[in-house]
Amino acid sequence: MHPFRYLRPESAAEAVAARGEDDETRYLAGGQSLLPALKLRLAHPSVLIDIARLPELRTLRRHQGGLEAGAALTHAEIAGLDDIPALAALAGSIGDLQIRNMGTLGGSLAHNDPASDHAAAVLGLGATVRTDRREIAADGFFLDMFETALEPDELIVSVNFPRPRRAGYAKVRNPASGYPVVGVFVAETDGGIRVAVTGAGGCVFRLPDFEAALADNFRPGALAGLATPVNGLNRDIHATAEYRAHLIGVLAGRAVERCR
């Protein structure tokens, strides 16, 4: 690892001021993606700003429409919330106990790994990402592999999850890491049916054909005959694009079955 300075600010405002425009400065939350990148020398920031204990990022607010969760809540803490069972189950499926006790909601979204579990819940539920300067709807947040709508110094403060009428998540885990080879989140929300897929493309994406079919008939059988184009899907040592396309159909059906 390259040497770096470590700062632990007292407030979100102080953290953003310390981050500034400097590309060599990075926020550090749970460290479960950033520290491996440092060890592999894929990233070499000169300053790390620890945001994991900032009070503004550790909040949890229940409101009539749903739940606003602080960005620094860990996967384990989200897994312990029973407000939105599909979200809790998804968070409980991430990695292993150590990863869940350290990794955070905000870190997972900012990192935007192509196989992020939380990205599927945020897009599937139509959540809103609140930062230190604005609100970003899920549909405009995830841009591409490891790329989001965030400005370099923008800090995710919380995520507002609307309570769905029903929702479910199904994934095939990579047995080594727990990351989804493919994961599908299905939700019936006040704004309609949403189907979000993670692990299969550059980043999480929605499936309009599946959403239309489920809007007509909310049963796994309604998805029979729908195929996901293989073009553009990930292919790697874990699965071919064809297998991922097949998994999307199977897992979407399972997610519908799990909806409650």
Ligand X SMILES: Cc1cc2nc3c(=O)[nH]c(=O)nc-3n(C[C@H](O)[C@H](O)[C@H](O)COP(=O)(O)OP(=O)(O)OC[C@H]3O[C@@H](n4cnc5c(N)ncnc54)[C@H](O)[C@@H]3O)c2cc1C
Residue ranges that bind ligand X, judged by CB under 6 A = 26-34, 36, 51, 71, 94-95, 99, 103-104, 106-108, 110-111, 113, 116-118, 155-156, 177-179
Q: CB-based contacts of 27: which residues, under 8 Å, 6+ apart? A: 15, 19, 48, 49, 51, 110, 155
Kindly state the smallest distance separating residue 120's Cβ from ligand X, in Å: 9
Q: Return d(Cα 70, Cα 207) in angstroms, integer.
A: 28
Q: At closest approach, how far in Å is the CB of 100 from ligand X?
A: 8
CA distance 218 to 225: 15
Q: Is 79 or 226 the residue whose CB approaches ligand X more closely?
A: 79
Query: From the CB of 54, what's the least distance to ligand X, in Å?
Result: 9
47-50 and 5-7 beta bridge pairing: parallel
Rounded Cα distance between 136 and 159, Å, is: 9
For ligand X, give the closer residue by CB, 150 or 212: 150
Nearest-CA neighbor of 52 among 101, 116, 94? 101
Q: Where are the alpha helices (H) located in 112-226, listed in sequence order?
A: 117-125, 208-216
Q: Judged by CB, which is closer to ligand X: 49, or 193?
A: 49
Minimum distance from residue 128 beta carbon to ligand X (Å): 15
The smaller minimum CB distance to ligand X, of residues 162 and 178, is found at 178
Q: How far is CA 231 from the centre of its chain?
A: 23
Nearest to 65 by CA among 145, 161, 187: 161
Q: Which two tokens stand for residue 183?
A: 């994961």
- Shortest gap between Cβ of 249 and ligand X (angstroms)? 22
CB of 121 to ligand X, least distance (A): 10
Q: Which one-letter amino acid corresponds to residue 219?
A: R
Residue number with CB closer to ligand X (179 or 205): 179
Question: Which residue, 29 or 203, is less far from ligand X as judged by CB?
Answer: 29
